[in-house]
Chain A
Amino acid sequence: MLERRIRRVLLRTPGAQAGRSPAPPKAATPPPKAAPIEIAPDDPILVHLRRAHGAVELAKLNLDSPALDAMIANGVALVVPLVSNDQLIGVLSVGPRLSGQQYSTQDRRLLETLTAHATPAVRVGQLVREQQTEVRARGRLEQELEVARLIQQSFLPEQAPELAGWQFAACYRPARAVGGDFYDFIELPRGLIGLVIGDVTDKGVPAAMVMASTRSLVRASAQRLIDPSAVLAQANENLCPDIPQNMFATCFYAVLDPKSGGLRYANAGHNLPLVHSGQETIELRATGMPLGLMPAMRYDEFETTLSLGAQMLLYSDGLVEAHDSAREMFGTRRVIQLLAEARAPQPLINELLLALDRFTGAEHEQEDDITLVCLQHAPARRADVLADFAVASAPGNERAVIRRVVAAVAPLELPATQLERLKTATGEATMNAIEHGNRNDPSLELQIVVAASDAQLVVRITDRGGDRTVPTPQRPNVAAKLAGRESARGWGLFLIEQMVDGIRHEHDAERHTLELQLRLE
């Protein structure tokens, strides 16, 4: 390996000197720099020089060596190998003596002494240069991984769907060398939901790019074609012309009807999804070639029903093909067992990852991306009512409402920031209800309901102003207010909207309800 370091020999010839040769005239110009000579790794001169002891006179060598011929042609007369730890790391080469005489024994000793001193310095220089090259290469690799990660993350859904009667959870855990996993939830006409999971061969930026294209193609096809088999076939047709050679994408695509639990699906070579229902777990089998391999593919399409309580898991091979220290695979059997024991999607994902980490061990570096998407047909759960009370419409009563709401949500242990925002939004909404809804009439009450489900906390404030029009919140113009061009007031609705994750208005002829919504982690 070290021989590679001297593949390019820079020659200072002719006229190079050694020993006690007469000094050149002061006005002499430096000898021209000769062109480097490439030495092939199998050139016999390398073996010869490594075994040589001291200076080697090239004219006396009888080797079939292109490098030797090139050096002689360039005027090299003598070389002294630079050997470090029994490895040839370079050569010192000199041309003939200016006097035309042969190099003396003393000249050779001097050159050998010089070489002995120069060798460690040359070796250190080589190591530093190798290290710098390695650092640059590592930097480029890290940069590429970062780009791949960014592409990957920007094409994954920000959140799972929220549908009455259904629970969704998803997780994407990238490996260090990011792969091409993806998943997607697609809103379709008539309330249908498209479910996608896929995996692109290869890693890094190329895989991330193909992942982004595949996801977009499936999404575009899904909007036009409802049948899962047609969606995959169309995506395959569009992907084939552009996908790089030797790359393809596996993809499972299903269309869920949340009302009936009906699920139509097709599969382009992806891991078979699992459905646990009652006492049994089944695999959703459907045949089809991965996307991007060849055009004009047909995909099987089947239909099943996710009954109440049924739980379905989509996963990538990073889960089942993870190895422990004895090279045993995590496998589908463990996944099926955990699926059967799981109560709900998020706990299932947590358990799967925990079991995987225990299986692979703490020191294990994740081999491949892991993507998990789980959904459950759960009975629609009514939110727990935490408080239901009335207050008179008197100015200042908003603080009584804030206190009671804070007490009601105490069991939820909200983060301090979220609690402060809830307090401000509740106060402002109550003030508006008192002033604009009930027109500061103390004989009219406000009704406050606080309720929480697993995912959401809501505070509903109902007044008697069903006939009033609620203005659309707009960002107040502070500069105009400071300049006196606008009233200093008008902050309430804006603040409410900024403090919570969502608001909803309900009207009837008599009542108006403002619902404040906060997502619960």
Chain B
Amino acid sequence: MTSTSFEATSTVLADCAVIKLRGDIDGGAREALAAVYDDSGPTGPLRLDFEEVAYINSTGIALIVELLSRARADQRPVAGAGLSEHYREIFQITRLTDFMTILAQRPAPADRQIEHE
């Protein structure tokens, strides 16, 4: 049994870069997460869209911590959107919410897109 595929794409909007996450965030997401951060531009706020994420395990949480760590080093505030109730609870228990804002709504619509993914 292998993990389901994971994809991450970034879209740079006027006020932030949106990283769209799809699939399961586990050990198999490592490279895609690292790459999408590189693609999200060097500066400006980041918004992680978890709307299409169904599963995050402890390795996945470690990968999110690594991404947060890079963002902090680059002084980029991070927000998360589209988390399910369960993963909102996990982000609170693990105190990731101390270091990223959790938004209740999905990211801004595509008509605000100003650059190609």
Using CB atoms and an 8 Å cutoff, list the residues of chain A in contact with chain B.
394-400, 417, 420-421, 424, 427-428, 431, 476, 478-479, 481-484, 487-492, 494-495, 498
Contact A488 B69 (CB under 8 A): yes
Query: Which residue of B3, B28, B85 contacts A417 across the interface (Cβ within 8 Å)?
Result: B85
Is B27 an interface residue, CB under 8 A from the partner? yes
Which residue of chain B has its CB nearest to the CB of A476?
Answer: B94
Query: Which residue of A395, A427, A478, A494 contacts B98 across the interface (Cβ within 8 Å)?
Result: A478
Q: Which residues of the partner chain B approach A498 to less than 8 Å between Cβ atoms?
A: 93
Query: Which residue of A431, A479, A482 contacts B58 across the interface (Cβ within 8 Å)?
Result: A431
C-alpha spacing A400/B26, complex, angstroms:
14
Contact A491 B62 (CB under 8 A): yes
Which residue of chain B has its CB nearest to the CB of A496?
Answer: B58
Q: Which residues of the partner chain B approach A483 to less than 8 Å between Cβ atoms?
A: 69
Contact B57 A398 (CB under 8 A): yes
Q: Which residues of the partner chain A approach B24 to less than 8 Å between Cβ atoms?
A: 399
Contact B69 A400 (CB under 8 A): no
Q: Which residues of the partner chain A approach B94 to less than 8 Å between Cβ atoms?
A: 476, 478, 491, 494-495
Which residue of chain B has its CB nearest to the CB of A399?
Answer: B1
Contact A399:B3 (CB < 8 A) given known A476-B94, A478-B96? yes
Contact B62 A488 (CB under 8 A): yes
Contact B86 A420 (CB under 8 A): yes
C-alpha spacing A201/B100, complex, angstroms:
55
Query: Which residue of B26, B63, B84, B99 contacts A482 across the interface (Cβ within 8 Å)?
Result: B99
Which residue of chain A has its CB nearest to the CB of B97?
Answer: A478
Contact pattern, B 1-27, Cβ under 8 Å of A = 1, otherwise 0: 111000000000000000000001011
Contact B3 A424 (CB under 8 A): no
C-alpha spacing A493/B59, complex, angstroms:
12
Which residue of chain B has its CB nearest to the CB of A493?
Answer: B58
Query: Which residue of A428, A431, A482 contacts B69 across the interface (Cβ within 8 Å)?
Result: A482
Contact A482:B65 (CB < 8 A) given known A396-B1, A397-B1, A491-B94? yes
How distant is B64 from chain A, measured CB to nearest CB, in Å? 9
B contact residues, range: 20 to 34
A-B contacts, 11 listed (Cβ < 8 Å): A396-B26, A420-B84, A421-B86, A424-B90, A482-B65, A482-B72, A488-B63, A488-B65, A488-B66, A490-B62, A495-B58
Contact pattern, B 90-107, Cβ under 8 Å of A = 1, otherwise 0: 100111101100000000
Is B61 an interface residue, CB under 8 A from the partner? yes
Contact A481 B69 (CB under 8 A): yes
Additional 12 contacts, C-beta under 8 A, given A396-B3, A482-B99, A488-B66: A398-B57, A420-B86, A421-B86, A428-B57, A481-B65, A482-B65, A487-B62, A489-B59, A489-B62, A494-B94, A495-B94, A498-B93
C-alpha spacing A436/B112, complex, angstroms:
47
Contact A482:B59 (CB < 8 A) given known A396-B2, A420-B86, A476-B94? no
C-alpha spacing A484/B85, complex, angstroms:
29
Is B68 an interface residue, CB under 8 A from the partner? yes
Query: Which residue among A420, A483, A488 has the maximum number of chain B CB atoms within 10 Å of its CB?
Result: A488
How distant is B101 from chain A, measured CB to nearest CB, in Å? 15
Q: Which residues of the partner chain A approach B89 to less than 8 Å between Cβ atoms?
A: 417
Which residue of chain A has its CB nearest to the CB of B28?
Answer: A396
Q: Which residues of the partner chain B approach A396 to less than 8 Å between Cβ atoms?
A: 1-3, 26, 28
C-alpha spacing A484/B58, complex, angstroms:
17
Contact A492:B58 (CB < 8 A) given known A478-B96, A478-B99? yes
Q: Which residues of the partner chain B approach A487 to less than 8 Å between Cβ atoms?
A: 62
Which B35-88 residues have a C-beta within 8 angstroms of A?
55, 57-59, 61-63, 65-66, 68-69, 72, 84-86
Q: Which residues of the partner chain B approach A424 to less than 8 Å between Cβ atoms?
A: 57, 86, 90
Q: Which residues of the partner chain B approach A427 to less than 8 Å between Cβ atoms?
A: 55, 57
C-alpha spacing A495/B27, complex, angstroms:
17
Q: Which residues of the partner chain A approach B93 to less than 8 Å between Cβ atoms?
A: 495, 498
C-alpha spacing A417/B86, complex, angstroms:
7
Q: Which residues of the partner chain A approach B95 to less than 8 Å between Cβ atoms?
A: 478
> What are the nearest 10 A-B pairs in CB distance?
A420-B86, A491-B58, A488-B62, A488-B65, A492-B58, A489-B62, A482-B69, A400-B1, A397-B1, A488-B66
Which residue of chain A has its CB nearest to the CB of B93?
Answer: A498
C-alpha spacing A483/B65, complex, angstroms:
10
How distant is A295 from chain B, measured CB to nearest CB, in Å? 53
C-alpha spacing A397/B1, complex, angstroms:
5
Q: Which residues of the partner chain B approach A399 to less than 8 Å between Cβ atoms?
A: 1, 3, 24, 55
Q: Which residues of the partner chain B approach A395 to less than 8 Å between Cβ atoms?
A: 27
C-alpha spacing A104/B50, complex, angstroms:
92
C-alpha spacing A12/B18, complex, angstroms:
80
C-alpha spacing A395/B28, complex, angstroms:
10
How distant is A479 from chain B, measured CB to nearest CB, in Å? 8
How distant is A125 from chain B, measured CB to nearest CB, in Å? 52
How distant is A284 from chain B, measured CB to nearest CB, in Å? 47
How distant is A398 from chain B, measured CB to nearest CB, in Å? 7
C-alpha spacing A494/B68, complex, angstroms:
20
C-alpha spacing A490/B61, complex, angstroms:
10
Query: Which residue among B1, B62, B93 has the maximum number of chain A CB atoms within 10 Å of its CB?
Result: B1
Q: Which residues of the partner chain B approach A495 to less than 8 Å between Cβ atoms?
A: 58, 61, 90, 93-94
C-alpha spacing A487/B99, complex, angstroms:
17
C-alpha spacing A278/B2, complex, angstroms:
58
Query: Which residue among B24, B27, B58, B68 has the maximum number of chain A CB atoms within 10 Å of its CB?
Result: B58
Q: Which residues of the partner chain A approach B96 to less than 8 Å between Cβ atoms?
A: 478
Contact B69 A484 (CB under 8 A): yes
How distant is A492 from chain B, measured CB to nearest CB, in Å? 4
Contact B68 A482 (CB under 8 A): yes
C-alpha spacing A424/B26, complex, angstroms:
12
Q: Which residues of the partner chain B approach A494 to less than 8 Å between Cβ atoms?
A: 94
How distant is A409 from chain B, measured CB to nearest CB, in Å? 16
Which residue of chain A has its CB nearest to the CB of B98?
Answer: A478
